[in-house]
Amino acid sequence: MRALHELLADKAFLAETMRKLMLARKFEEKVFDLFAEGKVHGTTHLGIGEEGTAVGTVTALAPEDYALVTHRGHGQVLAKGSHPNDMMAEILARETGVNHGRGGSMHLSDIRYNTLGMDGILGASCPIACGIALSFKMRGVTDRIACVFFGDGSMNQGAVHEAFNLAAAWKLPVLFVCTNNTYGMSTPLWKVVADTDLTKRGIPYGIQTYEVDGNDVLATYLTACEAREYILREQKPAFIVEHTYRTSGHSKSDGNKYRTKEEIAEWKAKNPVIRFTQVMLGNGFSPEEIAEIDRETTRVIDEAAAYGESCPNPTATPEDLEKEVYAS
Amino acid sequence: MTREITYAEAVCEAMSEEMRRDPDVFFMGEDIGVYNGAFGVSKGMIQEFGEERVRETPISETAYVGAAVGAAMMGMRPIVELMFSDFMAVCWDQIANEASKVRFMLGGAVKVPMVLRTASGGGTGAAAQHSQSLENLYCHIPGLKVVVPSTAFDAKGLLKAAIRDDNPVIFLEQKKLYRVKGLVPEEDYAIPLGVADVKREGADVTVVTYGRMVQMSLEVAEKLAAEGVGVEVIDVRSLVPLDRETIIASVMKTKRAVIVHEAVQFSGFGAEVAAMLADSEAFFHLDAPIKRVGAYYTPIPFNPILEASIFPTPERIEAAIRETL
């Protein structure tokens, strides 16, 4: 594992990290715009402001690791390597989408890059991650992990606690990542738990636990690297609580009535893209170099939207769909 | 060579043979090790396959059924034993929202080859939370296959097919049949899912049934044969996929249909079969209304007299058949 000063000296790594942050941000801003234009069917859950957790954590994963992402997982799937075109086409419900328009934003994931999940049932991916890790263990594969994301809102789901216990009891290589964005939809964490220190949730299960400022992408990356190394070395699960904030609404139904404009503005000012911009400027990047990443990612996302909109709708008949239900 | 073994032994034999054949097959559940499972099904398995492949779980159905979904997506073939089918309610999310849907939601990118074996049905004095027949709940979730074996022979062959299937299969074993013996070949065989079995041929009335009710229906058929009434007994064996053709063809022949199941009659599987027949060519051949025999609309009572009173009995089946004649 590299030290912070080594990362700061690695210009290519820093530029790539910013590229991933901006890609996630601009992808979701584009989805928001397309939604406002009435081009996105159904619903979508944006994680604007949470990019540091997605990029920092997923960058620490190896290609062969699995990431079980959340319903708010666009940034996680992008960071694992999926192409924005395939993802945008899915969100626009097209046949060429990564899930052929069968899943949409909420179930978007890409098996080619070992992302699974995008689960609409909160916490349900945690037991599934245990099974993925169990398959590694039973096959004697010790170089990869299953990383599962969930939010502070899911932290009280029985499935999460049952998975913590199973992973610990069976010594499974699972990285549990709680993206603590302060609200479960509109409900603040303090209202629904007696103790808001979620790191304590790892203790009774004997799970090695880490805590990090999720808006600091490098700190998140380093923490995830440390946790991943621990998992591979000990062949045991680990748990990270990553603190962040969702500046976008929960979904299209969100009127932001549960929080103040001042609170949102305060978090926007310390969002991970702005914070990482300062890090880059302090470590040898010029504003123009950063602006170039901005332009490049904007172009990629504009192209993704244009691609998605140009793609055909699925033409499957109900009878065709019935045939898809079962593997033959 | 064919010899007599119990239904429970047939289940054990199917699992063990498949585990010997395929290293990706493994077995998870509560107390399935030295205890041999609550119904003694897995006798000898932990000794043969060890604790890695006969994996005893915490009492944590959501965790281990979910883990089976994850392992199956990775190409393993988990067999999960849920001690009582009623406990399906505890892990319903993993069954109804995950196992059944993940393939479809991901546009066909993954398979979920897992079997959820569980003990189903009443008649054991286990009362309301350990006696239900909930098969119709699973039938209503596209993505699951639903199998209910009625004999030791079928149990072995159907379970082998279920383990080899690339989809989640709910395998509902009948508690009351675990100790019933039947002729079972020692050699390998699989019974394809979706093929009904005509357990007895007859010309006058078709009884469509499955599970524990097959034997009861056969006894009634035997009795009525003495009066010259030919009862054809169809064991559907797999509810999903359903062998519609065999049922429809039989009813077109006999012109009468009675559907028998242990599950609650209201909104039960019999309603689907009756509707399917009413909606088919067979309708034009019917000489009598389609009859259903199922359990009364009540939780399973503890008292043995009360419990027996709510389930189908030979008398109720016979009466239903006579109504169609």
User: How confident is the model at residue B268, as a pLDDT?
Assistant: 97
Round the average pLDDT of chain B to a whole number and report it.
97
Q: Is B26 on the interface with A (CB under 8 A)?
A: yes
| Chain A residues 289-328 with a CB less than 8 Å from chain B | 322, 324-328
* Interchain contact, B68 vs A131, CB within 8 Å: yes
**Is residue B25's pLDDT more than 80?**
yes
Does the pLDDT of residue A217 top 90, yes or no? yes
Contacts of A176 in chain B (CB under 8 A): none
Query: In the numeric block, which tokens belong to residue A4?
Result: 């912070």
Give residue-wise pLDDT tens across range A88-103: 999 999 999 999 999 9
CATH number of B197-324: 3.40.50.920
For A244, the token pair is 């962040």
Among candidate residues B130, B140, B261, B285, the one labeled active-site is B130
Residue A117: per-residue pLDDT: 75
The fraction of chain A above a pLDDT of 70, given in percent, is 100
pLDDT tens digits along B120-168: 999 999 999 999 999 999 999 999 999 999 999 999 999 999 999 999 9
Q: What percent of chain A has pLDDT over 90?
A: 93
pLDDT of A119 reads 85
CB-closest option in B97, B104, B112 to A121: B97
- Specify the higher pLDDT residue, A117 or A205: A205
| Alpha helices (H) in chain A, listed in sequence order | 4-9, 11-36, 51-59, 74-79, 84-91, 125-138, 158-169, 189-192, 217-234, 261-269, 272-281, 287-310, 318-324
- Whether A131 and B105 lie within 8 Å, measured CB to CB: no
- pLDDT given at position A118: 75
In sequence order, which ranges of B77-125 are alpha helices (DSSP H)?
A: 92-93, 102-105
Per-residue pLDDT tens digits for B66-75? 999 999 999 9
Residue of A nearest to B95 (CA): A124
- 0.90 surpassed by pTM: yes
Chain A residues touching B70 at Cβ < 8 A: 127-135, 146
Query: For chain A, which domains are there?
Result: 4-324 (3.40.50.970)
What pLDDT is attached to residue A268?
94
Residue B251 pLDDT greater than 80, yes or no = yes
Which pLDDT belongs to residue B304?
A: 96
pLDDT the model gives residue B310: 97
Active-site residue flag, B285? no
Q: State phi, psi for A15 to the nearest 5 degrees.
A: -65, -40
Can you tell me the mean pLDDT for A104-122?
91
Determine the average pLDDT of the residues in B261-275: 98
pLDDT given at position A153:
94
Give CATH for domain B2-185.
3.40.50.970
B64, A166: Cβ pair inside 8 Å? yes
Residues 6+ away with beta carbon under 8 Å from B55: A170, B26, B27, B28, B29
Q: Is B192 on the interface with A (CB under 8 A)?
A: no
Which pLDDT score is estimated for A253? 81
**Which chain A residue is nearest to residue B96, measuring alpha carbons?**
A121
A129 contacts in chain B (CB < 8 Å): 70
| Same topology between domain B2-185 and domain B197-324 | yes
Per-residue pLDDT tens digits for A267-289:
999 999 999 999 999 999 999 99
- Percent of chain B at pLDDT above 90? 100
Identify the pLDDT of residue A82.
97
The answer to whether residue A252 scores a pLDDT higher than 80 is: no
Which residue ranges make up each domain of chain B?
2-185, 197-324
Strands (E), B74-177: 77-82, 115-120, 145-147, 169-174
Q: Which of A99, A132, A136 sits opposite B107 (nearest CB)?
A: A99
What pLDDT score does A269 carry?
Answer: 95
How does pLDDT run across B93-117, given as a tens digit for each residue? 999 999 999 999 999 999 999 999 9
User: Residue A104's closest chain B neighbor by CA?
Assistant: B105
Is B104 within 8 Å of chain A by CB?
yes
Q: Does B27 touch chain A (CB under 8 A)?
A: no
Provide the shortest C-alpha distance from residue A53 to chain B (in Å). 24
